[in-house]
Amino acid sequence: MTENVETIVVLDFGSQYSQLIARRIRECNVYSKILPFNASAESIKKENPMGIILSGGPASVYQDNSPKCDPELFNLGLPVLGICYGLQLMIHTLGGKVAPGEAREYGKAMMQIQDHTTLFDGLEDEIQVWMSHGDKVLETPEGKFKVLATTSNTEYCAVCIEDRNLYGIQFHPEVVHTPQGKEIISNFCHRVCGCKGNWTMASFIEQAVSEIRETVGDDRVILGLSGGVDSSVAAALIHKAIGNQLTCIFVNNAVLRKNEAGRVQKLFGDNFHMDLVYVDATERFMTKLAGVDDPETKRKIIGHEFVEVFDEAAAGIENVTFLAQGTTYPDVIESVPIDGNPAAMIKSHHNVGGLPEDMELKLLEPLCRLFKDEVREVGSQLGLPHDVVMRQPFPGPGLAVRHIGAVTQETLDILRDADEIVVDEIKKAGLYYDIWQSFAVFLPVRTVGVMGDERTYDNVIALRAVESSDGMTADWVKLPYELLETISSRIINEVRGVNRVVYDITSKPPGTIEWE
C-alpha cells in the first residue's frame, strides 16, 4: 500500500470474527490489514498504521500456551483497541488480573455507559451489546485504566487509558447483535485514531491501475477467465491499466451453464474489446469424465485438464511474463491456530488450480486486498454489467458438482436447461440478488410419472436455494410455494427427461451447499 492510505492493523488471535472486524473498518472508509497475533512491533510499525485492533479469540490469557502479542506494541504510541480476548490480553500484559468468571456471559447484554469518552461519543447511556466470554477482568493495572462502561455481570466492560489511547471492550462491536457497534468502530477509527477516511474503491482503482502499469511495464499478462465475478473484475481492472498487453483465455470445460461461453465472448471480446482466446475443449473434457462417478475424481480431472488446456493455449502467446488471477483477500487470509503456534498468514492461492511448482510466470493478483463486496463495487465502477458483478457464486468444477454420478452430454443438457429455468424464475421473483446461491441439481434417479395419458420413467431434478453471508454456514431459503410451483411446472413441461422436482431443505451444516 502507498503511504497515504490510512490503515488499521487487526491482530488475529483466532477469532471467528477477525475478517468481520476488518470489513467493519473498511466500511468506515479506512483500509484494514489482518496480521498474525505474533507479529512483531517492528513489523506492525512498517505497515504505517493509524491504529491497532486486537481481535477476540477462544483461548484464556492466563494459560501458558495462549497466543500473546508483542508487548512492545503498547509502546509504539499508536491507539490500540482490544476486543474481548484482546481486552483481557491488554490488561494481562500491562499487569492486571484476568480469571474465569463466576458466570459466563454469552449473547445479548445491556451495557451502561458511565463515561462518554471519544469511543462512545454520540451513544445513549444504555445500549445493547453482544457478549461471548467465560473469563473476565478482575483487576486493571493499578492506577492506569478507568472504567467507561459496565454490565450486570461485567464490571470492566469497557476501559481506557485516554492519554495513551489504549481502549478495551469486553463485547463484540463487529457483529450485528451489537446494533451500534459500527458507530463504536467508527469512533475508534476517526475520533481516536484520527483517520479521515480515504479508502474508497475509486481511490483503489486509481492506485491499482498505477501499480499494475509499474509492475508489468512492457510485458504481457495472461488471465484465465471463467465468467465469474472475481476473474471478470480482475480482467476489467488489468485491461484498464494495460489494454491489449492482457490476453484472457476462456476455456469451455463442458460443464458451464447454458450459453455461458457465448455470454463471456460477447461481453469481453465484443463489448470490452479485450484480446480473448476462446478454447472449446468440451470433447476433451467429456472424454476424460466418461464413466467417472466419484465426485473428488471428477474435481481432480477437471482441475488437471484445465491446467493442461490453459498451458497449451498460453504457449501460443509470446512474451508472457505474468499470470493474473482474481484472488481476493479472504483467499489469502489463513486463521491463526488457537494453540499459540505461529502460522503463516499469506498462503499461495492458485485460482486456476494445480499450477505446476516450477511455473516460471509471475503472479499478478490485483484484487488480493479486497473483500467480495469491494470486488463487486470495483466491477461496477469499471462498467461491468450488474448481472455480472452481482451474480451468485459458481463452483470451479461447474455443473459437475451439481450432477450426481457420471456426466453425459444428454444429462448435462438436461441440467443446463433446468438450471436456466431456476435462475430465470428466481430473477423474475426479484430474489436472485438477495440469495447466496440458487440452482438445479441432476439426480440419476428415475421415477414413475404420468404425463398426458402415458406413464413415464424419467429423471429427478432437485432445487437448491440457500442464504449465507460467506458460504461457511448457510440456511435453506423459504421460497414462496407459488414460485416453487412455477419452477417445477416449467421444468417438467419444458425439459425433456424430467418428470419430478424436489426441494432441498438442508442447512449447512450438516449438509453442504453443493451436492458433490
Closest of 253, 266, 357 to residue 313, by C-alpha = 253
Catalytic residue among 172, 190, 239, 403: 172
Amino acid at 305: E
Q: Under the phi-then-psi rule, with left for phi > 0, alpha for psi from -120 to 50, and beta for the rest, what region is 196?
A: alpha
Within 8 A by CB and 6+ apart from 456, the residues are 448, 449, 450, 499
Q: State the catalytic residue, choosing from 28, 69, 92, 174.
A: 174
DSSP strand pairing (97-113 vs 126-139): antiparallel
CB of 281 within 8 A of CB of 272?
no
Among the listed residues 28, 69, 84, 189, the single catalytic one is 84
Contact 457, 406 (CB under 8 A): no
Alpha carbon distance 326, 234 (integer Å): 5
Cα–Cα nearest to 223, from 299, 259, 274: 274
State the cell numbers at 70: 508483542
Cell triple for 63: 494459560
What region does 242 belong to: left with phi over 0, alpha with psi -120 to 50, or beta? alpha
Classify each residue of 160-182 as buried b or exposed e, where b means 16 or more C-beta atoms within 10 Å of its C-beta.
bbeebbbbbbbbbbbbebbebbe
Q: State yes or no: is 368 an active-site residue.
A: no
For residue 156 the three cell numbers come to 470492566
Q: Tell me the HSE value of 392 on the side-chain side, using a 13 A CA sphere.
A: 24
Q: What is the DSSP string of 133-150?
A: EEEEEEEPSTTT-EEEEE
Per the document, the length of the chain is 516
Q: What are the cell numbers at 68?
A: 500473546
| Helix%, strand%, coil% for the chain, nearest 5 | 35, 25, 40
Q: State how far Cα 167 lies from the chain centre.
A: 29
Q: In Å, what is the CA distance from 433 to each residue of 36, 212, 260, 299, 375?
A: 34, 31, 19, 27, 16
Assess whether 172 carries a catalytic annotation: yes
CA 398 to mean position of chain CA atoms: 19
C-alpha separations of 394 from 110, 296, 375, 391 in Å: 42, 17, 16, 9
What is the rounded CA–CA span in Å between residue 65 and residue 170?
A: 22
Estimate the crossing angle of helix 372-381 against helix 229-242, to 10 degrees.
Answer: 50
Write the DSSP string, 51-99. EEEE---SS-TTSTTS----GGGGGSS--EEEETHHHHHHHHHTT-EEE
Closest CA to 207 of 386, 31, 47: 31
Whether residue 174 lies in the annotated active site: yes
Catalytically active residues, by annotation: 84, 172, 174
